[in-house]
Amino acid sequence: MTESILLVEQRGPVRILTFNRPQQRNALSSALIDTLRTELAAADADEQTSVVILTGSDPAFCAGLDLQELGSGGNTLLKVEDESIPAGHPWLPLSKPIIGTINGAAITGGLELALACDILIASERARFADTHARVGVLPGWGLTSRLPAAVGRGFARRMSLSGNFVDAEEALRTGLVTEVVEHDALMNAALALAETIAGNDQRCAHAARVVPSGGGARRRPGPAGREADVAGVAGDVHTRPRRGSACGRDRAGPRTERVGLPVDDRASGNDDFHPFLKSILAQGPLDEGEPWPRCCTRRRCRWTVSSPDRAATCRG
């Protein structure tokens, strides 16, 4: 009997998916890509599953695309640019968090899969490399935006232009991973984190994933994308007093920050609007000339809202 190329295990609210092509360093064949996408969609649809762990059978996490299949005329590249998957994503975006449990080398396409996870925990044996330039294949799953977001533009360019490997400790130092543990303790560490996440309010956990994302399918284009999308996930409005500054200027008194209000298309003509301002505009007319002490996309500015047309200008 042929062993599955992707192992699936359920531990309480945690679904564990394990690449199982160890002889090929878990290289991504077209069959493995299809199976991974199917199982991730199934985990997302399962109400008993709150968190997904993605890992590989030793000795590697994933060595990227199966170059042997690619060289023999396989349709692996067609899987990368699947029209059913949003551009820049290796799979349909999930509503549930994915913990990348990096047990060994994560190279090129394997690095892209790791970057598509929400949290990365690494074994001391983990290594990371972007070798797209070495093998002559362009990134197709969002590496050019996710890698700089994780490690900074300079280090991301260094990784992509050199193709050199980054070990686990350097990955931790640069922010690529959140924790490095002994190899034998890796799965236990991932499970402990997954169970902690699963024990939280899942609606709020889903919203927390949307807000800081670097470019997921739920994010709307432009600066108004992040916080506005929380409305579709959390569905609540929270207000909290806040001290601080708008555009870097200290303010003496508390103010209120509104989070998660739905955005009205009538208030979205200017894509430079700060998402919080757009949210407030969508709720109805405000007093003429009322200042909104919240920074927009430019520094040292104040938004002014006027009625009845609810036009907004930035006095910067």
- Domain of residue 259, residue span: 227-315
295 inside domain: yes
247: left (phi over 0), alpha (psi -120 to 50) or beta: left
Instruction: Give me the amino acid identity at 44.
Output: D
Task: Supply the CATH number for residue 103's domain.
Answer: 3.90.226.10
Q: Could you tell me if 261 and 168 lie in one domain? A: no
- Order of all β-strands in the sheet with 290-292: 290-292, 302-306, 311-315
299 inside domain: yes
Q: Could you tell me if 127 and 180 lie in one domain? A: yes
Using CA atoms, how far apart are residues 277 and 262, in angstroms rounded to an integer? Answer: 11
39 inside domain: yes
pLDDT > 60? residue 278: no
Name the band, by pLDDT with cuts 50, 70 and 90, for residue 316.
very low
Instruction: Quote the pLDDT of residue 296.
Output: 43
- How many domains in the chain? 2
207 inside domain: no
Q: How far is CA 13 from the centre of its chain?
A: 21
Using CA atoms, how far apart are residues 229 and 227, in angstroms rounded to an integer? Answer: 5
Q: Encode pLDDT of 136-190 as tens digits.
A: 888 999 999 999 999 999 999 999 999 999 999 999 999 999 999 999 999 999 9
Q: Could you tell me if 250 and 124 lie in one domain? A: no
Q: Could you tell me if 286 and 159 lie in one domain? A: no
Q: Could you tell me if 43 and 97 lie in one domain? A: yes
Q: Could you tell me if 242 and 142 lie in one domain? A: no
Using CA atoms, how far apart are residues 176 and 149, in angstroms rounded to an integer? Answer: 9
Instruction: Quote the pLDDT of residue 135.
Output: 87
Q: What is the CA radius of gyration of the chain?
A: 22
Using CA atoms, how far apart are residues 176 and 127, in angstroms rounded to an integer? Answer: 11
Average pLDDT of every residue of the chain:
76
Q: Could you tell me if 173 and 279 lie in one domain? A: no
Q: Could you tell me if 285 and 166 lie in one domain? A: no
Q: Could you tell me if 50 and 139 lie in one domain? A: yes
pLDDT > 80? residue 248: no
Q: Could you tell me if 145 and 251 lie in one domain? A: no
Q: Could you tell me if 55 and 187 lie in one domain? A: yes
Q: Could you tell me if 243 and 132 lie in one domain? A: no
Instruction: Quote the pLDDT of residue 159.
Output: 98
More confident residue, 274 or 193: 193
Quick count: other Cβ atoms within 10 Å of Cβ 77? 14
